[in-house]
Structure 1
């Protein structure tokens, strides 16, 4: 017999991968579609996407489409935003023309939820309710109530109105009530406030806030052993203040950043009415460096100074500077550093605190890729001081 052998040769295919310079691909946007609009007005959406028509190549189309999506998301009107790019079709289509479609899904008229959060050395429950996009241009009303494990409680009713423009201005009006207890200083505090806030961006990540706040404040002793220096400040007071805040956040993550810096500067002038008067400045600096994979070194510095503006207006114990505790100097109790009277912390007019931190994953990486990613091993070295500082005559 004749035995036939079949030989199968494996063919190798070489895939040629070429880098494509998107800037060399001529493109323009002929048409923009918005699918899913119901309550939202056309004019505020057009302001967010208009810059797409200025794209001259395919790379600019991608970048400007992403920026338009970010602008739409910042309106707070939409739950989901999808972006689709296709070649332009129709009688008015150009040779290099593209058609960009934004597929949006608006928020419900009423949303809310219950959540827990940890901050300021205590845990709290937060209940929120909001009505997004009530007038069709990103306006919203929100109500928030929180209750802390250390008898703190906060209520906040706010109306937020965004405006169109490249600086992304917004106006916020709030009615607030905040109750807090400070056992390390021997007093409890109840604030009822009206606040007006105007915010805008002078650059992509450089945010400014101008605020006016009027507050009726009630200070009272926490126990019968409260020191006399704290008792003499008990009672009601009226505070009227203007505040300027500037922040630049270049971090890649708010909770566990790997790289990037944070700068926050706050200046407050109280005394435009009422019987409380002071000038207060605070600064916070933070920088993060990724040493190795998932190992981050962080350096931070905070400082502040408060001074009286006249003899007729007072600086209360609630407006002074404090350090100590996990948010400033670890290893000390909350407000544990500085002048005391009968174990009650009195605060001072100046402080500084600095720290070096090393964050690494948990040993052996339990829960890697899941719940374990919410925890880090933390090594730290911190230092600081608080005291009364005189910068010149009359201060």
Structure 2
């Protein structure tokens, strides 16, 4: 090992290396080590080894790691190695990926040459799991099975079934194909699904059967786009004889109009910019997501719906984090926008302290939804693992700005 590379590995990683690989800096009792600028250390990659490949094809791995040969200095090697490792992880083929960077040796080695070795452990041919989720104030049991790396180039097939403890049930089969070596790292997927839910707060039952095509890609490390086409057949039925007349007008199927199921076809674009340090329990950073949907490309439903959600997290003092957010939704009904696509407020996931769908237009004590919804998400303070929610300042805002457009 050359003295320059040895010095860089021992003390020259600085903040970049510690942040990237999770290394701790020198302790208070340790003497400070000299550091150098890694971009000043000339280096190039002579060879790349990938150990542990079985079902995965060589061509897709070669296309993914080729960019390492373009590195011009030691810092560039580290950065590109980190990117390549993330690309290999995004393929969904490997359970574990280890990286080793060493000086080059043997025939064809150059004075500044390095060898990068990726040690991978492929996933099993079939992976299954059981977990629970909470949605619409209802707990769900989720059973899933996945076939990773079906054809050796990252293709995966996944089936999932969920059943709620009240009445909901969902089933979906998804096939996906990632392209980590292409610009923007796109992922193509197609899903066939069936979703069944009951909404006693609005007095109707919903059954959707359809197809979802999705193209996801990243324009930056923090920005993710998803372009979707969804086509489905929707059957909406009333829950009981006491369902309000306005809900019956918006329902189809087993109601007084007997219109039968209706078809919906639309395009949806979702863009999310996430600068949080953690997606579950963030301590700093912002998150913004904008969703735009156009329905009416065939079928009996046509509308334009836009939704915006934002979140801000700030660490006041160590172990104390203040979080807050806001959301806005607008629906423009062209013709036939069903009740299920309207905007609702109320419940633990939107407005604490109110019943599920308890805020906004109602008919005979049943929520009928609105065409515009503005809310400030509850501010919360996280302190040593505890959460304190503060909602009193936001309830009036949410209530006063929920309703129908003229």
Contact 1:201 1:207 in 2 (8 A): yes
- Is residue 272 of structure 2 the alignment partner of residue 256 of structure 1? no
The CA deviation at 1:356 is 4.7
Contact 1:295 1:361 in 2 (8 A): yes
- Is residue 187 of structure 2 the alignment partner of residue 165 of structure 1? no
Change (3 A) 1:42 1:299: same
Provide the rounded CA distance (Å) in 2 between the counterparts of 1:302 and 1:348.
15
Provide the rounded CA distance (Å) in 2 between the counterparts of 1:127 and 1:16.
52
2:212 to 177, 182, 195: 195
Provide the rounded CA distance (Å) in 2 between the counterparts of 1:287 and 1:120.
24
Contact 1:30 1:97 in 2 (8 A): yes
The CA deviation at 1:280 is 0.8
Contact 1:330 1:382 in 2 (8 A): no
The CA deviation at 1:355 is 2.9
Provide the rounded CA distance (Å) in 2 between the counterparts of 1:54 and 1:359.
46
The CA deviation at 1:15 is 5.1
The CA deviation at 1:225 is 1.1
1:307-318 mapped onto 2 (5 Å cutoff): 307-309=332-334, 313-318=335-340
Provide the rounded CA distance (Å) in 2 between the counterparts of 1:121 and 1:59.
49
Tell me which residue corresponds to 2:252. 234
Q: Pairwise CA RMSD of aligned residues?
A: 1.7
- Is residue 376 of structure 2 the alignment partner of residue 376 of structure 1? no
Tell me which residue corresponds to 1:28. 44
Higher-helix-fraction structure: 2
Q: Once the two structures are superposed, what CA deviation does each residue of 1:184-241 show, in whole Å capped at 9, x if it has no partner?
A: 1111101001111111122222111111111111111112211111122232211111
Gapped runs of 5+ residues in structure 1?
1-12, 363-372, 391-395
Contact 2:380 2:387 in 1 (8 A): no
Contact 2:327 2:377 in 1 (8 A): no
Contact 1:297 1:356 in 2 (8 A): no
1:103-142 mapped onto 2 (5 Å cutoff): 103-142=119-158
The CA deviation at 1:249 is 1.4
Provide the rounded CA distance (Å) in 2 between the counterparts of 1:115 and 1:292.
35
Contact 1:251 1:262 in 2 (8 A): yes
The CA deviation at 1:84 is 0.5
Provide the rounded CA distance (Å) in 2 between the counterparts of 1:179 and 1:344.
20
Gapped runs of 5+ residues in structure 2?
1-28, 254-260
More moved, 39-48 vs 85-94: 39-48
More moved, 205-214 vs 31-40: 205-214
Provide the rounded CA distance (Å) in 2 between the counterparts of 1:338 and 1:358.
24
Provide the rounded CA distance (Å) in 2 between the counterparts of 1:225 and 1:14.
75
Provide the rounded CA distance (Å) in 2 between the counterparts of 1:221 and 1:358.
38
Displacement over 4 Å in runs of 4+: 13-16
**Number of equivalenced pairs:** 364
The CA deviation at 1:36 is 0.7
- Is residue 291 of structure 2 the alignment partner of residue 266 of structure 1? yes
DSSP-derived class of the 2:139 partner: strand
Tell me which residue corresponds to 1:298. 323
Tell me which residue corresponds to 2:269. 244
TM-score with structure 1 length normalisation? 0.88
Tell me which residue corresponds to 1:46. 62
Tell me which residue corresponds to 1:184. 201
TM-score with structure 2 length normalisation? 0.86
Tell me which residue corresponds to 1:92. 108
2:350 to 304, 309, 328: 328
The CA deviation at 1:33 is 0.2
Provide the rounded CA distance (Å) in 2 between the counterparts of 1:206 and 1:15.
40
